[in-house]
Structure formats: structure tokens, C-alpha cells
Structure 1
Amino acid sequence: MATQRPSAGDSRHFVVVFAGFHRPWATWIAHRLESHGQSVHLHRWDPPREVPLETAIGDLLLAPGRLLLVLSDWFFQLGPRREGEWSEALRGIVAANADRFAAVNLTNRALLPATVVLKPVDLWGIGAQEAERRLLTRLELPTGPARRTLPAGPGSRYPNDPPAVWGEVPRRNVRFTGRDDLLNRLQEHLTDATQGTAVVALLGMSGIGKTQLAAEYAHRFSSDYDVIWWVNSDTRGTQRERLGELAPELGLPSGSEPGERIRAVQEALRRGDPYARWLLIFDGWDDIEGGVDLLPEGPGHVLITSRNRSWSECGITLLEVPGFDRGESTSYLMRRAPRITAEQADEVAAELGDIPLALVQAAAWLGESDMDVAEYLRMVRDGELSGLADQGDFDGVPRSSLTSWSILINRLREAQPHAVELLSLCASFAPGRIPIGLVRHLPAADLPESLTWLATDLPSWTRALDTLVNYSVFTRDSRTTVTGDDPGPEQESVHMHRIVHDIVGRLTSAEERKLHRRVVRRMLAAADPGNPQDSRLWPRYAELLPHLEPSGALVSSDARVQETVLNLLRYCHRSGEFRVGVELAEQVREHWSEMFPPEHPRMLDLANQQGNILRSYGHFRPAYELDRELLERLRTASGVDGTALMTATSCLAADLRYLGQYSEALQIQREVLESALELLGPDDYATLLAQHNLGVSLRLLGRYAEAYDIDLETLRKRETQLRARHAATLVSGIACARDLRLMGRYRDALARQELGMRLHIQVLGPQHPQTLRARHNLALCERRAGVLQNMGEMMASLLEQMEQVHGRKHYATVGLVVDYGNFAREHGDLDHAKDLIAEGESAFRELLGPAHPISTGMLSNTGLVLQAAGERAEALTMFEAAYAGLSATLGEDHPWVLGCALNAAAGRNFAGRLDSAQELSRGTLRRARRALGEDHPFTLSCEVALAMDLRGLREHEEAGKVEEDALQRFTRTLGAQHPHTVSARHRVRPYWDFEPYIG
């Protein structure tokens, strides 16, 4: 009897029954059926193995409507159950209720013969339109146009069509087991979060399966997203580079610099343009210091895998990843090794503590080998480890798990020696992502005879990799699209878990380790691009950096390897990885000191780079001691290269600037520039650096116009010799903007720094230390130019970023604390100002010592806070101390001294010492005109102050003339509405707040 087909107006109910693995298909099927007016319910099905299959299917029949089963070989592994049990159920309860069942088939492999009762329609390898037609036909629904148009959303995309952007998500683990409840909870956390806060961190011990869980989420819920991007986060450098690589994938016009790319990516994700449904996965993000600002905001989702519980302090939802429950453990073992029984699987799972990483290895071994389970368990329990477990430091991994890994590797050594050689070579890298394909760039002559097959025997290379992947020793690192081609052998990367890495390393002989580390060192040297100053090459340096220490590169006597080590130190300095650079430089010094005398060229290069990083990190005194000792040695040694002496002298000049010895630094810096011009010529990179540092020295001495001339010339040459967007060129741009501000040309300074700020974000990114320096200078330019809207919020935000990048006590952060305090005082937030200024004064005294000019100048800021609080006598004491202290160290005409004098004159006036105030104001005005010029805003402030002192002495005629001249000049130079002009017009006593600048 023929079944009557429903009419177009009929609506029926369907229950789509699927294994969690095929959720994208189930949601698409539901979406299409609903668009044709049908009612649909999704039912994820994975009945416990102990429940008889007929009972579980009988429970499905309790639901109203027809049951549509989403079939594949995965579906018939649920449980898992024996083939006979499935066949019996299909021939029994399913056949008896055939009118209630229908099925679709997602595989090109043969299904169980008994599935014929379901009449499955084949959806494998066809397009969306044909799949929809076949689905509707099988369910006896009209195949005409959809009755309603559903909005694009979760589940609407055809599963064979990948997201528009899919980046480096690990290949799907076809043996992934269980975790369904955890995956659903993860989805709920992400989808229920408010926009901009959809961030979840998967937390758990090593080997617990965090990465696998994140990868499965990406695949299982892929139809919910248009962009899915995987970011390896083992190191900050590789993390930043990988995030920046998303920019071209989104079609963003961002150039090649990582900072520019990151800014473009974050802005695009925030706007949801071109895609609002995005998922970013940061894998292995344990070191969160200074990196939280990489987290994007917007309508998408962020998933993090980590062992660091501190994520909760950042307001991020933590989701604990436990070990498998016993049912998941046994199911996984039985799927991977079908020959073992449920009882045997339970015994193995219990022995290995239900830890996923251990179960993966055990299942791989039991599935690939014919070893009896009882023999395997005996070996695990007997501890065939040669004392490996007793060595400790395995992050809580049970002894049984370590033994299991040892068994696998020792057996592979017998059966697949090439695989173990490749595996041991990987153990000479750092764990995590390993660019193993670099070995194929080496000529066979650079490899020891036993390893020449790595470069010459492609079939053996492929077999070795496949073997290790099949045994789950490591996974291939994918850099392909979902449907794209695999990388070639030279681009091959693998991911090696840290526990596996540790075990392999301990099971490798000392002789093998020595041989393999030498190979890895040669690989790193061959991969060195040779130009760490070019930000476009930073991704490669970030990739190489983690592997220096494990490969023994720090103790290598190979000149090429040593140059690579130095280049990576240069990379740390240029890219702002100061903390990493300080640690690395100290390690290198410890090893190289045993290899070279202090005056050796390698040690000179090391000292130069170490000093640069120490200064940038705020460790001024250690940098000075290092450079002073080195320079003394060089000056007394014979046959020293002139360039080396020049470089060492330049480092000492920099140290002296930071230590406040400005005149000595200027003298030495002039010598450095003369040497550079003689030795290298006017256009060399080192010469331009010496010229830039001369500008810094002049600026610190208050000779702003001279500094500007030098800086402008340096900027022009750097634009020509380097490029406009080179990091060094951007530094010159900051210098010119700072000079213009200090010269009183506030509008010009603001215009230049606004452009420089945009370039910094594009080239270096919003969180690079140099970008933060540019933003700080922009804030000061805006304040001096009278652009005060949202200034307090901007400075508070910048301070938070500075603290994240540098820490609270770094000199750059402390300088901003002080400037923020000055702004808060000026705008009436006296309590906040008092706290900030006190913090800044204390921090600078601790960092620089009490006699440093900056520590002395800070007394003037403290005086302004006291004066604003009505404590005038105490304020005057501070003003006079700052004035006297800086006069003694910097001389009467230094702008900082003049500023302290302006404040001291005000303090004397407020204390009733009018004659003394007038005398100091008149002298300050005279010196300001000489040092800064008649139209400089500070000079005009001195005029206003003198007029007030004269008026207090009843010398009204002169006071009027002086005041009128100041008002005219203020109006002409700054404009009638500038805050300085308005204050002068209202006869508000001018003051000078000290902006600490270290250089």
C-alpha cells in the first residue's frame, strides 16, 4: 500500500537523533526542515553501554513524531557495542517500527547490512541543494521552495561548507570520546554571555585533554561561526604573530607589521565586520602577564586553554576539565582497540587513572599491536621504566602512565627506528609547536650520517611521521584550510605534549641527545632571517626563540649559532620582550663567560644587547656597571676595534643619561657621534642612532631647539635610509613631537604626535612599549594644546595598560603616574592627586636615588599638592628644596630649574614675602627669555607671575605693562581660548608641574 505524501500545508514532527560528533549535520537538517514548515527536535544520543540497545531504542520510540537517525561509522561506535548487538536491534525493534524510522548516511564506507531497514539516504560528498532534495524526498516531504526564510545563524550553514575563515585548528580527532556534557556547558557559557565578555578558560593539568576539547568544540560547533582562528600561545611572541596573521584572512588592509595587523584584527572583531560570528581559541596560554589586552572584544567568542588559575582574577569564566569518567575511558579504549573486552578496558582505565593523555597512548598501543592486555598491564605494574618515574617533575602524572609511555617508545625503537630517531630529534626542541620541517632545509652534508635520511629519503620521512601520529605520540600542526592541501615536508610542524617531550628526553641516550641538539642548532641558525630590526621578520624569530635553550644553542661554539642567539636578543629588545630578554641575556652571559674573554667580539655584542635590554627594563645601575667595566677593559686593551669601542662608549653615555649625569653624557655622546661619522659615514644605522642619542642628551639639558634640529635631521635620514614605518623612524617621530612640545609649539607637536600614534598602532600594535610611550607623549601634547576632553579617562586607561605591560614600578609607568597625578590636581581631584604624586615620588627615589634630578624635581610636584591643600608653609619648603637642588646639579638656566623657581616665587608670594617673590620672578623671567625665547608659553607664564608680584608691591603701572604684554603674546601664540590665555586673563597665579622624563 502506497504511503500518501503530505501536502505543502502539512506540518509534521521529527526527532533528529545524532551522535555528538555530528552536531553540525543535525543542526543543518533541523534548520532545513524548519524552513519547510516542519517541527523538529534535536536529540543527542549516546546510551550507556550497560543499557541494552533495544531498551535504548525503545526509549527513543517514546518521543512523538518520526525518528531521523544521522548515521556514520561513528554512530555505530556509540557505547561502543558489538556489531552483532546492532544487527540484532536493527532486525528486531527497528524493523518492527520501520514506519517511525528514517536515516541519512554521512559516510562513503559500507554500513551494517541490517541498516537496509532504515533506507538511509546518502548525503556524503554532495552539495547543499542536492542534500536538501534527498532529505526531503526520504522524509516524503515536498521538494519545492522553502515555505519560510530563516535567518542565518547557528546551524544554518551546510556542514560541507567550511567557515569563511578557518585557521590552524588541529585536525579533528576521529576517535574523540565523550565530553558531551562538558562541550554543551562550554557552548552555554559562551552563548549566554553578554557581548564583549564571551570568554571561557578551560583549566586543567597537563595531559587532561584541554587542547583536544577545544579542537573538538571548534569542529563540532563550526556551523555556528564564520571565523574560527587557532592561536598557539606557548610564548607571547608566537601568540602575537599568530593573532596578527588573521588580518589578511579577514581581507584587512593592514600591511605586514604584526602590530598593525593586531590592531586591525581587534578593530574588525570589535565591529563584527566583515564577520560577527567569530571564535578565537588561544591554546596553552599560561603566562598571562601583560597579555590580557590581546583578548578581543565584540560579538564573537574566545576560548582559552590554560593551567593558570589567575584567569579568574581577570573576570573570565573558568571551566574545569576533569579526567574521563570511567565510561568515557572504557569507550575510548574499546573504539581504538576493538579487540579488547569491556572488562579489560575497565582494568586498563583504572590502572592509568582515567587520564586522557595516558589512555590515548595505551589505546594506540593496544590498537596497533597484538600484545595481550594482561601482558601490557603486567609491564605497566612492574614499572618497566628504568627508574624514570623516580625522577619526578611530571606534573602529577601517575607512575603507571609514565610506564605505559616508556613501553611504547622502547617497542617502537625495535620496530620503527626511523620514527624514534625523528621523535628523539623533536625532544631537542622545546615542547609545544615544533617546526620539524626545518630539518629538510639542511643539506645532507650538514647532517650526521645516521640522520641523512631526514633530508634525502622522503618516503621514510613520511612513514616516520605517520607512525608517530598513528600512535598518538604527537599531532600534526595544521596550517591549512579545512579543505586545503597539507603543507609540504619543509613546512611541516608537529605539536608535542610537554609530558611526552619530557619522557622521550629522559629515554634518549646522552650520545643521541648530543647529536640531535647539534642538528637542531644548525636548523635554527639556517632559519635565522638575519635582520631582527625588521618587524616583518618577527614571526620567524618568535618561532625560533623557545628552542634556544633545549637545543643547547646557548653553549654552542658554532659562530652561526652564536649570531642567531644575538639576533634573538636583538629581537627581544626591538619587539619589547624585555623580561624574556633579561633572562635570556643572563643565561647567555653565564655560558659565554666560560668560552670567551671579556674583550672578545661576542662578549662585546652581548654586553651591548644586554645593556640595552636592562635599560629598557628599568635596571639602570646594573646596566651602568656592566658597560663601565667593559669600557675600562677596552680602553686598556691593545688592538681593539674602533667600532667596538664606539659602541661601548655609546652604551655608557646612555647609562649616564638614565642616571641623571646629563652633562657628562652629552660630552661622551658627541665623541660617539664623531667616531661614528669617521668610521661608518653619515647614513649608517649606528651613526643615525648616535645622532638620535645626541638629541636626547640635548633635550635632557633643556636645549630643546638644538635637540629639535638634530632630531628632525635624524628623522629625515631614517625615512630615507630605513623606511617611514620602521620602528627607529617612529622613535625619531616621538622625539620631534616631544621637542616641539617642550619648545612651546603645542599645536605642531600635537599634529605630529597624532600621526605618529596612528603609525605606532599600525606597525607595532597597541601594547608595544614604544606605542605606549607614543600614547603618553600624545596625552601630554593634548594637555598642553588645551585638548582636555576625556583626558582623565584616557590617562587612567593608559596607566592600566602600562602596568600590564611594564609593571607598576617600571620607570615608564611611574612617569605616567606622576603626569596623571598632576592632571588630577589641576582638575580638583586632590585626594587622587596626592596618592599618585606620593607614589611617584617614592618610586623614583627608590629607582633612581634621592639625588637624581628627577627625584629632586618631584619635590616641586609634592609642593603643588600641598599648596592646593592649603598647606602653604610646607609647600614652600618643598619648592625651595627642589629649586636649590636642581640649581646645584643642572645650573640656573635649565628649564626644570626655571620651573621650580616659578613655583618657589608663588610660594614666597603666598607666604607674604613679596619682595623676595618679585626678585625671584624677575630673575626667572630674564633667564627664561634667554633659555626658551620671549614667546615660549613658560616665559609668558613668568611674565604673568611677575605682574602679580608687582601688583602685590603696588607697582601697578609696571604690572599692567607686563601683564598686557603677556596676554597679547599668549593670544597670538596659543589663541584666546587656550587655558593658559584664559588663566592669565583671569589673573590666576601660574605654576609649573614637573613632567619626569628619563630619556
Structure 2
Amino acid sequence: MADTSGARVIAQHGSLAVGYAEQIRFQAPARQPAAWPHLVGVIPPRAPAFQHRAVAEQLRQAVSGGGTAVLGQVLSGLGGVGKTQLAADYARTAWEHGELDVLVWVTASSRELVVAGFTQAAVELLAVDPDEHAANAFLAWLQTTPRRERAYRWLVVLDDVTDPADLRGLWPPANPHGRTLVTTRRRDAALTAAGRRLLNVGLFTPEEAAAHLAQALADHHRHEPADQLHDLAAGLGYLPLALSQAAAYLIDTGMTCARYRELLTDRTRTLSELLPEPGILPDDQATTVAATWSLSIERAERLRPQGLARPMLQLIAMLDPSGIPDTVLTSPPALDYLADLRTRTAASATTGPEPGRVTQEDAVGALRALHRLNLIDHTLGTPHQAVRVHRLIQRATVDTLTPDQRDQLARTAADALLAAWPDTEHYTALAHSLRGNTDALAGTAEAALYRPDAHAVLYRSGNSLGHSGQATAARDHFQRLVTEIGNRLGPDHSDTLEARHNLARWRGEAGDATGAAAAFAELLADQEQVLGPDHLDTLRCRHHFAWWRGEAGDVVGAAEASEQLVADRERVQGPDHRHTLNARAIFARWTGDAGDRASAINICEQLLEDAIRVLGPDDGDTLVYRSNLANERGGAGYAAAAVAAFAELLVDQERVLGPDHPHTLDTRIKLAQWRGKAGDPDGAVAAFAELLVDQNRALGPDHRETLLVRYNIAYWRREAGDPDGAAAALAELLGDVERVLGPDHPHTLDTRHDLSSWRETDHKD
């Protein structure tokens, strides 16, 4: 059982207290109780350019209102956010305003220092001998505070508590006339036990940060444009310590904010190179920003599960500081990395799981250890952005790695992102977060994601953009990727050809079907030369070339090309291969659009029969082929049959794929359309209105499919006899289509044309 007896706790530190007593006896042989009011210890001086922050008022209200009736107020936050300065400002203000009779400031970075500080207080306030009982006597005095005319008002500040265990048995007691204030980088549950309150200290606001820089420079007759100050403050992540040291660097070097900002974005320079040397830090600071978190990392490493905090922080350092999904950091590639790093460190010789194995629970434990030391924020309630970290912690962490270590870590982070990416993106928030993390990784990793080849996550991120409805952004992503890969790996490399394939596809999806067909034709010629006519990538290119020929208006050419593709797929891959079945599906599509609906229906019926035999009735492609067949029958004039077929298909898709799967939502679009075409425009409007609610939730309001549903609502409202309501809905849609797709996108042009036509027709009527 833990020893909580005050006397025994203090006795454990008797040798330290006795040694301290000898110094006091030598310095002050005659002891008398200090006169009131009295200050024990030294309040740190106010930093130049000190900012009065909103959190300071929160602190004053919390401490003055609660007192030690709740045992204490704990200021917790990342190293460098200014906790000590806030505590000192509060203590100094209270002292100067006569609110205190006794103020005790104790540096509390170890248990020994806390005991020594309390011993010093006992010597000065109680005139006792500085022995092993002195600290205990001071705590007892805080409990009772002798009464004369009134009770003495006291404040004890315990600055920089490194480990909550150091205060076991040493917490100042509850007293309505006393207050306790603690600063720490920790946020363990033990700190807020017994009614103690936690106040998280964050970064400067943008305004506070810019004002701090401006004042620090003005004190040395330096003035910079306001926009440059704001840009630099943002580049430093609004961290008070970083701003203070950067200002000193600017003053010492004469450098401008703009030039410093350029150097800060230069990945070839370490953070320590852009800060003052340790011996000339401002404001009596002990460490640079680059080194200020090293002690916290070491302590996190010793928390269970030991040896995982540092490698976990290294992985976090490669990703998006504004939010990393838990699933990335607990994925198999991440676990393998953690296990390998722990095995290769001295920390592997600890109790707990064997060094060679790391579980998901261990990975979460490492995140919690980093969270407890305020090195990251780990919020369990936001799984898509569960981990947040300051960018300078990331920078300082990456700076400790060798180039080879950084490259290995970058590929590991890319593997982890890819492992966490769902095959089908049901949740837009997760996909958005994964894309943001891929972008952040690409900026940090640089060439590593192209050695020895282009990592697959680069393609996955671009395609995710397109699937989210941002076809233009996806096109631009792959345009950059084609250039980057071509420059690094050469124009004939398979990765360059793959990037060109994706670029052509999203060019078409962005509204340029003719340009997509031309790009695929050019790519096909190169692939046939580099890879050969029967290579699977070449056959895939032919598939997409045929598709975009049809989308560009050449439906006869598309039908002929897809028919030849079917023959070559059967020869190369066999008649039952999934790719062969898909080739038959597009052959049916363009055959029907070319005017031969009967043949298209026949092809679809045979294809569906083969798919059920080969793939099974619940396979995703089988369900797509059912949709194709229903659509062809509707196009042949059997609208009621199409409605019935899509209604049956929807039940199966909701069962197999789920209600939010893109294919399920697409079936609901087609079902509503065919209801309208079958003579039920009111039913179509109702179905589309219900679907719009689900699409806004699942896809977002700016997704192209969501915009399509809004168009259909307007269209079928008109068909149902509400031309004014239809025109108003279409006019509202036009503004959003122009904003999302651009003014020259075909969908925008079609919407604008339809609105003009409807208004003209309605005016004539």
C-alpha cells in the first residue's frame, strides 16, 4: 500500500532536507518567523512582450472562485504554451494587489525539489529547524493557518510538475483561505482527483501571436508588415515559446519575417537551425523549441506499454497535424513498425507483451501515453480525426531521423493509410481525413513515395477525390502526378502510364468526354508499344477507350470497339473472367444506345445468367448487371417492368451492400426516374426528395450525384404540373452547379439551357 503518512513521506527525504538545513544554518543562524506578508521562492520574471490572454481571466476566475475547497487548480498543456508565465502573472498580480499574506513558489519538477521548497517555507514562515519534519510542518500549517485578527490568505504554486506521483502525500490541503496552483505537461487522472480542477492551456490566438511578435520586434526598433507577422505566426503554429525564440532569432540575425518564413518551409533545414543557440535564448529560457519536448517523450516512453511512445510519435509526425484517424495508427503496417522499433531499442527489455508483438491495444496505449504528456491530443469521440499534434513537434521529431529512417517511415505511413482506406467510401468524413493525411505525408516524405516506385496511396487519394464528387480536383491531382512520376521514373514507366490512365478517366468525369477519349487513344498506342497488345493494362485501357468514345457521342464506334474487346478478353483471360463479363456489359450498353435494344437485352440476359453461375447472385457485379438489364428493358419501352425490377434490386442491394453504398443510391435514382417515366411524376418527386436527404448525409450537398437528384426533383415537379416551383428549384441548383463544377461544365451548360427553355416556354403559355 502506498505510504500516505505525511511524516513518513517527508522522512523518506530526510537526507535532502538535512543537507538543505545545513546550508540554511550557515546562511542564517538566527531564525525568526518572517513578517507578513511574505514571499517564499522567486516568481519568474515577466517575459518581454508578455500577452494578456483570455485564458488568464479563466484562470483568475477558477482559482479565486474555487480556492482549495477543491484542493487546487491545475494548468495543463503542451510544453511551450506559456503555463509558467500564466501562473506567474496570476501570482504576481494577486501579490501586488494585496490579495495574499503568504505566497510560496516552488519549482516542482521532482519530488526532492518539492520537499526542499516546502522545507524552505517552513523555515521562513515557522522558524523551525530544516529537518525531515519541516515540510510536514508546513503542510500542517497550511491546514490550520493560525488566527489572529483574521486567517492568513496563502497561495502555493507548484511549477512544472513532471510526474503526478511526485506529489503523493504532498498536495497542499483544503482550506477556504488558501489556494493551490499547479503547472504541468501532464493530464493524468490523478491530477484531478479529490476535486482538483484542470484548465487546459492552448496556443496563442492568431491575434495574440501576431501581437507578441510585433511587440517583441518593436522593443528592438524593428517593424514588419502585419500580414508578414500573421503568416509567420501561422507558420510557427501560434506556439508562444516558438514565437519568442523566433523573434530573438530575427533580432539577432536582422532577417525579415518573409525570409524566415521561407526558411521555415525549407525541409532541408532542421528546426534547431532556425532558432537561437541554447546559450543565448531569450527570457532566461532553458531549452530551444526543438528540445523542449525531449523530457516529455522520455517519460512517455516509460509509461505502459513501454517503448512505444517514441515510434508512435514518429509515425504521427509524418501525417496531418489537424487530425489522424485511429485506424491508420492501429493498422497492421503501423503495428509492425512499432514492434520493429521496440525490438531494436533498449526499452524492449521490459515487462508486458513480448517485444516482437504489438497489438492494437498496445498502439492505443502508446497514444494515451503521448496524450497524458500533452504531446498529442487523442480524442476518442472523433475517430476520423482522433489524433492531433502540433506541427513543430512533428518537425522536431522528423529532424531526429536519418534520411534512411525518414524514408522508411514515410513508406510505412503510406502503407498504414492504404490499409485504413475502405474499399468503398461510405463515410465522407473518413475519406476526407485520409486524403488530408496523404497530402500531408506527400509534403513531408517528398521523394520517398516515389522510390522505388510511386506508392499506391497516391493513386488512391486521387481516385477518392473523384469518388467524392470532386472530378475536377481528381483530374488536377493526376495531372500533377503524371508530371511528378514522369520526371522521376520516366515516361514509359508503368506508374507513369497508370497515372495517365487515371488522368484520362477523371478528365472525362470532369465533363470532357471528347478529351478523355483522345487521351485514352494516345495512351493505348503507348501501352501497346511498351507493354504489348495483350497486357492486362492495355486491355483495361481499351475498355475505357470504348466507354469514353460512347460518352463522346460515337456510340457505334464504342459498340464495335467493345465487341472486339470481348473477343480479346475471352482469348486472353477466358469467358468467365470478371473482366470479360464487364466487357460484355459495356458491349450491351453501347449496342442498346446505338439503337439495337433487342440485342442489348439479349446480351444482358445471357450475361446475368453467366454472372449468377460464375460470381453468385449477391456479387456486386451481378447486382450491377441486374441494373443494366432493367435499364435496357425500360429503354425498350417497358417502363413498368423497369420499375418492378429496380424495386426488387433495391431490396437485395440494401441487404448485401447497405443503404449508403453508391450502387444502392444509384438504384434509387433509377427507380425514381422510371417511376416518373411510367406515368407517376408525383411518386418520382417524392422518391427523389426522400433520396436527397440520404445523399446529403452520405455524400454531401456538393456531390455530383446529389446535384443530379436535385435536378430530377425540379424536372419531375415540372412534369407533375408545378412549373413555377420547378423553375425556382432549377435556378437555385444552377448557382450551386456553377460553384461546384464550374461555369463551362456540360452539366452547368445543360442546367442553364433547361432553365432558359423552361422560362421561355412558361412565359409563352
TM-score normalized by the length of structure 1:
0.44
Three-state SS of the structure 1 residue aligned to 2:374 is: coil
| CA root-mean-square deviation | 6.3
Are positions 1:500 and 2:392 aligned together? yes
Q: Matched residues in 2 for 1:50 and 1:479: separation?
A: 29
- The alpha-carbon deviation at position 659 of structure 1 amounts to 1.1
The corresponding residue for 2:291 is 410
Are positions 1:472 and 2:374 aligned together? yes
In the alignment, structure 1 segments of 5+ residues that lack a partner are: 1-44, 58-68, 98-106, 119-168, 181-205, 210-306, 308-320, 327-351, 363-375, 482-492, 872-999
The corresponding residue for 2:643 is 750
- The alpha-carbon deviation at position 667 of structure 1 amounts to 0.8
Three-state SS of the structure 2 residue aligned to 1:630 is: helix
Three-state SS of the structure 2 residue aligned to 1:744 is: coil
Q: Matched residues in 2 for 1:557 and 1:440: separation?
A: 20
The corresponding residue for 1:525 is 415
**For residues 834 and 469 of structure 1, do their structure 2 counterparts lie closer, same or farther at Cα, with a shift above 3 Å needed?**
closer
- The alpha-carbon deviation at position 637 of structure 1 amounts to 5.5
Matches within 5 A, 1:78-157: 88=142
Is the 2:546–2:558 contact (alpha carbons within 8 Å) kept by the matching residues of 1?
yes
Is the 1:653–1:669 contact (alpha carbons within 8 Å) kept by the matching residues of 2?
yes
Find the partner of 1:627 among 520, 523, 540.
520
Matches within 5 A, 1:91-490: 177-178=198-199, 207=203, 358=239, 381=248, 391-392=260-261, 407-410=288-291, 423=313, 426-431=316-321, 432-433=323-324, 435-436=328-329, 441-442=335-336, 452-453=344-345, 469=371, 471-476=373-378, 478=380
The corresponding residue for 2:500 is 607
Q: Matched residues in 2 for 1:667 and 1:475: separation?
A: 58
Is the 2:426–2:698 contact (alpha carbons within 8 Å) kept by the matching residues of 1?
no
Q: Matched residues in 2 for 1:405 and 1:768: separation?
A: 56
Q: Matched residues in 2 for 1:527 and 1:51: separation?
A: 48
Q: Structure 2: which amino acid aligns with 1:508?
A: D
Three-state SS of the structure 2 residue aligned to 1:594 is: helix
The corresponding residue for 1:982 is none
Q: Matched residues in 2 for 1:722 and 1:559: separation?
A: 36
Q: Structure 2: which amino acid aligns with 1:651?
A: H
Q: Matched residues in 2 for 1:818 and 1:660: separation?
A: 22
Is the 1:614–1:620 contact (alpha carbons within 8 Å) kept by the matching residues of 2?
yes
- The alpha-carbon deviation at position 828 of structure 1 amounts to 2.7
**For residues 86 and 751 of structure 1, do their structure 2 counterparts lie closer, same or farther at Cα, with a shift above 3 Å needed?**
farther
Q: Structure 1: which amino acid aligns with 2:317?
A: A
**For residues 732 and 117 of structure 1, do their structure 2 counterparts lie closer, same or farther at Cα, with a shift above 3 Å needed?**
same
Matches within 5 A, 1:54-69: none
Q: Matched residues in 2 for 1:445 and 1:863: separation?
A: 66
431-440 vs 648-657, which deviates more? 431-440
Q: Matched residues in 2 for 1:415 and 1:534: separation?
A: 40
**For residues 865 and 716 of structure 1, do their structure 2 counterparts lie closer, same or farther at Cα, with a shift above 3 Å needed?**
farther
Is the 1:555–1:591 contact (alpha carbons within 8 Å) kept by the matching residues of 2?
no
**For residues 109 and 831 of structure 1, do their structure 2 counterparts lie closer, same or farther at Cα, with a shift above 3 Å needed?**
same
Is the 2:334–2:412 contact (alpha carbons within 8 Å) kept by the matching residues of 1?
no
- The alpha-carbon deviation at position 668 of structure 1 amounts to 0.8
Find the partner of 1:685 among 578, 600, 612.
578
**For residues 472 and 799 of structure 1, do their structure 2 counterparts lie closer, same or farther at Cα, with a shift above 3 Å needed?**
closer
Q: Matched residues in 1 for 2:189 and 2:65: separation?
A: 33
Q: Matched residues in 1 for 2:430 and 2:756: separation?
A: 48
The corresponding residue for 2:548 is 655
Is the 1:533–1:571 contact (alpha carbons within 8 Å) kept by the matching residues of 2?
no
Q: Matched residues in 1 for 2:190 and 2:238: separation?
A: 16
Find the partner of 2:593 among 700, 722, 725.
700
Equivalenced residue count is 557
Find the partner of 1:515 among 371, 390, 405.
405
703-712 vs 470-479, which deviates more? 470-479
The corresponding residue for 1:782 is 675
Q: Matched residues in 1 for 2:75 and 2:710: separation?
A: 64
Three-state SS of the structure 2 residue aligned to 1:625 is: helix
The corresponding residue for 1:642 is 535
Q: Matched residues in 2 for 1:405 and 1:665: separation?
A: 72
Is the 1:444–1:452 contact (alpha carbons within 8 Å) kept by the matching residues of 2?
no
Find the partner of 1:828 among 721, 746, 755.
721
Q: Structure 1: which amino acid aligns with 2:542?
A: T
Q: Matched residues in 2 for 1:837 and 1:416: separation?
A: 57
Q: Matched residues in 1 for 2:630 and 2:189: separation?
A: 50
Is the 1:91–1:114 contact (alpha carbons within 8 Å) kept by the matching residues of 2?
no
Three-state SS of the structure 1 residue aligned to 2:387 is: strand
- The alpha-carbon deviation at position 699 of structure 1 amounts to 3.2
**For residues 640 and 869 of structure 1, do their structure 2 counterparts lie closer, same or farther at Cα, with a shift above 3 Å needed?**
same
Q: Matched residues in 2 for 1:480 and 1:769: separation?
A: 24
Q: Structure 1: which amino acid aligns with 2:288?
A: I
Q: Structure 2: which amino acid aligns with 1:700?
A: D
Note the alpha carbon deviations across 1:278-315, whole angstroms, 9 max, x for none: xxxxxxxxxxxxxxxxxxxxxxxxxxxxx9xxxxxxxx
The corresponding residue for 2:442 is 549
Q: Structure 2: which amino acid aligns with 1:521?
A: R
The corresponding residue for 1:732 is 625
- The alpha-carbon deviation at position 565 of structure 1 amounts to 3.9
Is the 1:695–1:707 contact (alpha carbons within 8 Å) kept by the matching residues of 2?
yes
Identity of matched residues, %: 15
- The alpha-carbon deviation at position 827 of structure 1 amounts to 2.8
Note the alpha carbon deviations across 1:92-136, whole angstroms, 9 max, x for none: 79xx99xxxxxxxxx996586865999xxxxxxxxxxxxxxxxxx
Three-state SS of the structure 1 residue aligned to 2:547 is: helix
Q: Matched residues in 1 for 2:754 and 2:387: separation?
A: 57
Q: Matched residues in 1 for 2:584 and 2:431: separation?
A: 28
Is the 2:139–2:172 contact (alpha carbons within 8 Å) kept by the matching residues of 1?
no
Note the alpha carbon deviations across 1:875-932, whole angstroms, 9 max, x for none: xxxxxxxxxxxxxxxxxxxxxxxxxxxxxxxxxxxxxxxxxxxxxxxxxxxxxxxxxx
Q: Matched residues in 1 for 2:656 and 2:204: separation?
A: 39
Q: Structure 2: which amino acid aligns with 1:830?
A: P
- The alpha-carbon deviation at position 426 of structure 1 amounts to 3.5
Note the alpha carbon deviations across 1:423-450, whole angstroms, 9 max, x for none: 5554323323274566664479988xx9
Note the alpha carbon deviations across 1:207-253, whole angstroms, 9 max, x for none: 469xxxxxxxxxxxxxxxxxxxxxxxxxxxxxxxxxxxxxxxxxxxx
Three-state SS of the structure 2 residue aligned to 1:552 is: helix
- The alpha-carbon deviation at position 664 of structure 1 amounts to 1.0
Q: Matched residues in 2 for 1:597 and 1:869: separation?
A: 60
Three-state SS of the structure 2 residue aligned to 1:828 is: coil
TM-score normalized by the length of structure 2:
0.55
**For residues 609 and 728 of structure 1, do their structure 2 counterparts lie closer, same or farther at Cα, with a shift above 3 Å needed?**
farther
- The alpha-carbon deviation at position 672 of structure 1 amounts to 1.4
- The alpha-carbon deviation at position 663 of structure 1 amounts to 0.9
494-503 vs 661-670, which deviates more? 494-503
